Amino acid sequence: MPFFSVVIPLYNKAQHIRQTIFGVLDQTFTDFEVIIVDDGSTDQSVSIVKSIQDDRLHLLCQANSGVSAARNLGIKKAKATYIALLDADDFWHPNYLETQFESISQFPSDKVFSLALEMQYRKRLFPLGYSIHKSATQRLDYFEASQSHTVLSSSSTVIHKSVFEEVGCFDTSLKSGQDTEMWIRMGLAFPIVFNPKVCARYQYEDLNFLPIKKELLAVGALEKFDKVSYTNKHLARFLNRNYYAMALKSRIFGDCEEAEKFQQKIDMSALAVRKRILLRLPVFFLKFVIKLRNSLTAIGFGNRVFK
């Protein structure tokens, strides 16, 4: 039985999937299987996967049902105790699984493990600005540690299979924001072991650095955790940050009704003045500010707007 099962949901990623797969096959830690679940791709993605010959590589195909259904199928079929999630257009450095194995060995009683990401934008690499002390591997409260960038992501997280038995699998009823909803459930149930080594890369495709519609969450995906937040101040801050981000993104896409729903959920007293101003800007000017601010972030200055 392999130590890790790497689960990769795949949908129309012909441009990236070869690099993603070889990033896994070239790992220094070699005790793993790779389960790729194709979610009804219509490009050459499946042909590319089939052209790669390696006994550790397994391809499953399903009719288009969404990324959550694809991940859930991969998790169900996994032989290993530890599930390593990876998106089909992201990339691991050769020491990724070895570093995760070191964390598991250091914290054998824990069940959710993550490490730092870097972002690729216009062929430039830069680390994400986490809001935690990054000197050593440590156990963290997910919500306290994710006030800037989330410490869990779909390409930098390893999860003990028993976690899914306790918190459930990815919610297939959500069309977007499935990851955030899952991380909240995990964060409420388990501490996160975070390694500050940068061993994974998120490849950002939007050259304007504007949000994409698949990032939008339904209000209900967040507000079901409101009651818990009354007694968890870090969760309350985390939810407020996400309500703010979703309000901005909804406005950009012209969904005024949804933006109003999110804005009503925001605790304005907890927002910085600049964020309150952004919520009131005309959409055309808001887009300009976001492009400018995020472009500066991409070359090493400041923070992105959606925080």
Residues 43 and 73 in one domain: yes
Residues 231 and 193 in one domain: no
* Dihedral of the alpha carbons of 241, 207, 9, 258, in degrees to the nearest 10: 40
Q: Tell me, yes or no, whether 306 lies in a domain.
A: no
Q: Are residues 60 and 181 in the same domain?
A: yes
The domain boundary residue, chosen from 152, 175, 203: 203
Task: Count the domains in the chain.
Answer: 2
pLDDT digits 0-9 by tens, 74-120: 999 999 999 999 999 999 999 999 999 999 999 999 999 999 998 87
Separation between Cα atoms, residue 235 and residue 188, nearest integer Å: 9
| Among 203, 235, 251, residue at a domain's last position | 203
DSSP 237-302: HHHHHHHHHHHHHHHHTT-HHHHHHHHHH--GGGS-HHHHHHHHS-HHHHHHHHHHHHHHHHTT-S
Kindly report the average pLDDT of the chain as a whole number: 89
Q: Are 185 and 168 in contact (CB under 8 A)?
A: yes
Q: Which of 203, 233, 260 is the last residue of a domain?
A: 203
Q: Is residue 208 part of a domain?
A: no
Tell me: do 129 and 40 sit in the same domain.
yes
Only one residue has tokens 């209900």, namely: 220
Q: What is the pLDDT of residues 37-71, one digit of tens each?
A: 999 999 999 999 999 999 999 999 999 999 999 99
User: What are 62's strand-pairing partners?
Assistant: 39
Full residue range of the structural domain in which residue 148 is found = 4-203
Model pLDDT, residue 128 = 74
In terms of domains, do 33 and 153 share one? Answer: yes
